[in-house]
């Protein structure tokens, strides 16, 4: 409480002074209205000269009311003692002085209280301002007209990396600059020259904006502005991250522009209410425009669209805006030089928070070369399909024409070989007849395979799926190839299912699959080898498995063996290690037909083989009737 005078203490002083006046005023007093008596007192011999002077002064004081203490100013009755008049005069002086002191004390107390209150408010506001400054992400400094520091925050010291020495209010700006230059914060080689130029610029008190790159790689944005009355305030902002983002954005925009140029893609945005059109540089290139000579506009875009496509494009864009949906389209444009280009456009309408249409945004891609390539491929495909159809028709006709005489040849050769109408005669004629029969049969098999693959490729083969008993299929097919296996000295075994197993498939197609697989297995299994046939089933599939202990298939040949006309005869293993009792030549259509027939049923073919260790072929079908139909 020391040094502070509040309202309560001032009132205390006032009451104390008033109480003193009342005490003195309560003493015996006389009416001093009788001037003659007073003069007699003054002139009397009983008073000394000093008392006489005091009485004269007292007599000269105007008579004033005694505020209820007496009708006039209280004066001691003049007693016979010499001190009586002295005390009377002293009491008057005391009362007058007390009133003056009370006024001064009251005035001083009130003024002191007002100043103290203002000081407290100033202290609070200063503390708030300091808190705000110290919590700013920006550095800030204030220098007065004499270029002395008036205020700064901690961020200012941190960003400039200032040492503790000059960081005080009232320090000249030049000391700060020297500290910065000596610390080589800004790579200044000539410190004195740097300080001189800095101070010369500061003394001009002009607004200034510049960027400093610090040795640690950070970047500081500095903005200085003068203030009224002299001096300036400066802000310091670390823009390192912003510069990194801006640089990354600039690189990204360059890469995007280059990608758009290479890919023939240009983006655009159209504002219908203002009829303003914005687009990328690649957009100008697509339309064949020079950006230095013209400005892209909605009217220019509309004019560039091929006349036959304008109405459709306008309706498409309007519909997208009404339904608030994106759209994709292909349309043609006509460049200024008359060249037609084909574009693919994608766009979408953009709306504000109230659902009002603001703009359309989209991209256009030049697909002219792609369309030309597609048209060329389409022409080639059509030509190939026509050629393939002609081939299939030719093969079908030729197969029919060839099979008719072949059947006759085979029939007559068979009759002669069996000597139905008597002996042929010379034994060598019997050998020739056997060769004729075998060759004709081989040619017939070849014709049948070609006819089958042509029918499948033409999509003309129709299936008639029925429920087939698997054991019956195995018996039927093994009877057909049993003689072939006997001649090849290969053991043929069928592994019947313990329980009745059925498959929903076309009988002729499944029989051909089994015969082709068994025939191939016997053909490429050396004498003494084994060929087996079995079946497995799951909840969703049925599979036929044909395994042999033959020569196997090299890994590099596996992808090719199911292709049409791929015989594998170029493989030395196939031609030298096959069964010597069977001619290895064939059409190369066996496995191709197997795979095609399996796919017609919704299934496929898997081959597992090791060179010199045999082969296992798995053909699977779906169990569902719907998939097999």
Give residue-wise pLDDT tens across range 257-290. Answer: 677 667 678 889 999 888 888 988 889 989 999 9
Is pLDDT above 90 for 509? no
Could you tell me the pLDDT band of residue 28, with boundaries at 50, 70 and 90? very low
Residue 623: CATH number of its domain: 3.30.565.10
Tell me what the pLDDT averaged over the chain comes to: 77
Residue 336: CATH number of its domain: 3.30.450.20
Residue 104 belongs to domain spanning: 7-112
Residue 181 neighbours by CB distance under 10 Å: 18
Q: Within this chain, do residues 600 and 486 fall inside the same structural domain, yes or no?
A: yes
Q: What is the pLDDT of residue 557?
A: 82
Is pLDDT above 50 for 31? no
Q: Which residue has the higher pLDDT, 348 or 250?
A: 348
Token pair, residue 572, equals 């030395």
**8 A C-beta contact, residue 76 and residue 30:** yes
458 occurs within a structural domain: no
Residue 407 neighbours by CB distance under 10 Å: 12
Q: Within this chain, do residues 566 and 590 fall inside the same structural domain, yes or no?
A: yes
Q: Say which residue the tokens 């059925």 belong to.
A: 502
Q: Within this chain, do residues 580 and 553 fall inside the same structural domain, yes or no?
A: yes
Q: Within this chain, do residues 262 and 295 fall inside the same structural domain, yes or no?
A: yes
Q: What mean pLDDT is predicted for residues 423-430?
A: 77
Ranges 224-228, 257-261, 487-491, 561-565: which has the least confidence: 257-261
344 occurs within a structural domain: yes
571 occurs within a structural domain: yes
Q: Smallest Cα–Cα separation from 625: which of 451, 532, 511, 504? A: 504
- Give me the phi and psi of 618, to 5 degrees please: -120, 120
Q: Within this chain, do residues 483 and 569 fall inside the same structural domain, yes or no?
A: yes
Q: Within this chain, do residues 336 and 393 fall inside the same structural domain, yes or no?
A: no
Counting the structural domains of the chain, the total is 5
| Final residue belonging to a domain, choices 187, 221, 238 | 238
Q: What is the pLDDT of residue 330?
A: 92
Percent of the chain's residues with pLDDT above 70: 75
Phi-psi region of 341 (alpha: psi -120 to 50; beta: other; left: phi over 0): beta
143 occurs within a structural domain: yes
CA–CA gap between residue 608 and residue 208 (Å, rounded): 81
Q: What is the pLDDT of residue 235?
A: 92
216 occurs within a structural domain: yes
DSSP 474-534: HHHHHHHHHHHHHHTT-EEEE---SS--EEEEEHHHHHHHHHHHHHHHHHTS-TT-EEEEE
The three-point CA angle 245-250-255 to 5° equals 125
Could you tell me the pLDDT band of residue 417, with boundaries at 50, 70 and 90? confident
Q: Within this chain, do residues 598 and 479 fall inside the same structural domain, yes or no?
A: yes
Q: Within this chain, do residues 52 and 146 fall inside the same structural domain, yes or no?
A: no
Q: Within this chain, do residues 513 and 556 fall inside the same structural domain, yes or no?
A: yes
Strands (E), 192-339: 208-213, 219-226, 232-238, 265-271, 276-279, 327-334
Q: What mean pLDDT is predicted for residues 365-388?
A: 89
Is pLDDT above 50 for 77? no
| Final residue belonging to a domain, choices 112, 127, 145 | 112
CA–CA gap between residue 461 and residue 454 (Å, rounded): 9
Is pLDDT above 60 for 80? no
Q: Is the pTM of this model over 0.75?
A: no
159 occurs within a structural domain: yes
Q: What is the pLDDT of residue 548?
A: 92
**8 A C-beta contact, residue 518 and residue 557:** no
**8 A C-beta contact, residue 557 and residue 572:** no
225 occurs within a structural domain: yes
CA–CA gap between residue 401 and residue 462 (Å, rounded): 23
Q: Within this chain, do residues 622 and 503 fall inside the same structural domain, yes or no?
A: yes
164-223 pLDDT, tens digit each: 655 677 888 888 888 777 765 445 457 788 888 888 888 888 898 888 887 778 888 999
Q: Within this chain, do residues 345 and 430 fall inside the same structural domain, yes or no?
A: no
Q: What is the pLDDT of residue 546?
A: 92
| Final residue belonging to a domain, choices 332, 347, 366 | 366
Q: What is the pLDDT of residue 78?
A: 41
CA–CA gap between residue 117 and residue 122 (Å, rounded): 9
CA–CA gap between residue 342 and residue 575 (Å, rounded): 56
130 occurs within a structural domain: no
Q: Which residue has the higher pLDDT, 366 or 565?
A: 366
Is pLDDT above 80 for 519? yes
Q: Within this chain, do residues 381 and 471 fall inside the same structural domain, yes or no?
A: no
Is pLDDT above 90 for 623? no
């Amino acid at each position: 409480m020391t040094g502070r005078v509040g309202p309560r203490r001032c009132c205390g002083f006032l009451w104390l002074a008033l109480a003193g006046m009342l005490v003195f005023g309560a003493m015996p007093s006389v009416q001093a209205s009788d001037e003659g008596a007073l003069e007699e007192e003054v002139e009397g011999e009983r008073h000394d000269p000093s008392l006489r002077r005091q009485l004269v002064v007292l007599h000269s004081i105007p008579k004033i009311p005694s505020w209820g203490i007496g009708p006039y100013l209280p004066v001691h009755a003049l007693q016979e003692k010499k001190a009586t008049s002295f005390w009377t005069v002293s009491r008057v002086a005391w009362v007058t002085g007390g009133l003056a002191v009370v006024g001064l004390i009251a005035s001083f107390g009130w003024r002191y209280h007002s100043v103290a209150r203002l000081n407290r408010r100033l202290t609070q506001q200063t503390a708030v301002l300091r808190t705000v400054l110290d919590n700013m992400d920006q550095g800030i400094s204030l220098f007065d007209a004499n270029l002395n520091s008036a205020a700064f925050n901690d961020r200012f010291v941190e960003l400039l990396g200032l040492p503790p020495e000059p960081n005080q209010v009232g320090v000249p700006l030049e000391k700060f600059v020297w500290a910065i230059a000596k610390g080589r914060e800004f790579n200044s080689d000539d410190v004195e020259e740097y300080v001189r130029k800095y101070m010369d610029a500061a003394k001009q008190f002009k607004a200034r904006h510049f960027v400093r790159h610090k040795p640690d790689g950070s970047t500081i944005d500095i903005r200085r502005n003068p203030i009224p009355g002299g001096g300036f305030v400066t802000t310091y902002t670390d823009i390192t991250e912003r510069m990194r983002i801006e640089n990354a954005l600039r690189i990204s925009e360059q890469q995007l522009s280059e990608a758009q140029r290479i890919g023939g893609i240009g983006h655009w945005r159209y504002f219908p209410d203002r009829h303003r059109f914005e687009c990328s540089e690649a957009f100008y290139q697509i339309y064949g425009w020079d950006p230095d000579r013209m400005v892209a506009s909605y009217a220019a875009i509309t004019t560039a669209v091929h006349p036959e496509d304008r109405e459709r494009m306008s309706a498409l864009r309007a519909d997208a805006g009404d339904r608030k949906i994106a759209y994709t389209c292909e349309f043609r444009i006509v460049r200024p030089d008359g060249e037609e280009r084909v574009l693919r456009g994608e766009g979408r309408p953009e709306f504000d928070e109230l659902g009002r249409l603001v703009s359309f945004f989209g991209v256009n891609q030049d697909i002219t070369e792609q369309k030309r390539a597609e048209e060329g491929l389409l022409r080639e495909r059509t030509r190939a399909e026509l050629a393939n159809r002609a081939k299939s028709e030719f093969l079908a006709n030729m197969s029919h024409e060839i099979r008719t005489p072949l059947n006759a040849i085979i029939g007559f050769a068979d009759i002669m070989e069996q000597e139905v109408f008597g002996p042929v005669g010379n034994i060598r004629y019997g050998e020739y007849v056997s060769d004729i029969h075998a060759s004709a049969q081989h040619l017939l098999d070849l014709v049948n395979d070609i006819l089958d693959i042509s029918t499948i490729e033409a999509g003309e083969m129709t299936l008639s799926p029925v429920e087939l008993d698997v054991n019956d299929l195995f018996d039927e097919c093994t009877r057909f190839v049993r003689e072939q296996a006997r001649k090849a000295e290969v053991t043929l075994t069928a592994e019947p299912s313990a329980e009745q197993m059925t498959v929903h498939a076309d009988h002729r197609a499944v029989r051909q699959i089994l015969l082709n697989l068994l025939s191939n297995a016997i053909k490429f299994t050396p004498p003494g080898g084994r060929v087996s046939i079995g079946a497995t089933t799951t909840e969703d599939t049925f599979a036929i498995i044909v395994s042999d202990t033959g020569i196997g298939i090299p890994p590099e040949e596996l992808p090719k063996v199911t292709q049409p006309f791929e015989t594998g005869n170029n493989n030395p293993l196939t031609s030298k290690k096959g069964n010597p009792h069977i001619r290895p030549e064939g059409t190369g259509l066996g496995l191709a037909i197997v795979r095609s027939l399996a796919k017609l049923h919704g299934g496929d073919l898997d081959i597992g083989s090791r060179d010199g260790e045999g082969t296992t072929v798995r053909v699977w079908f779906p169990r569902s009737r719907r998939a097999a139909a």
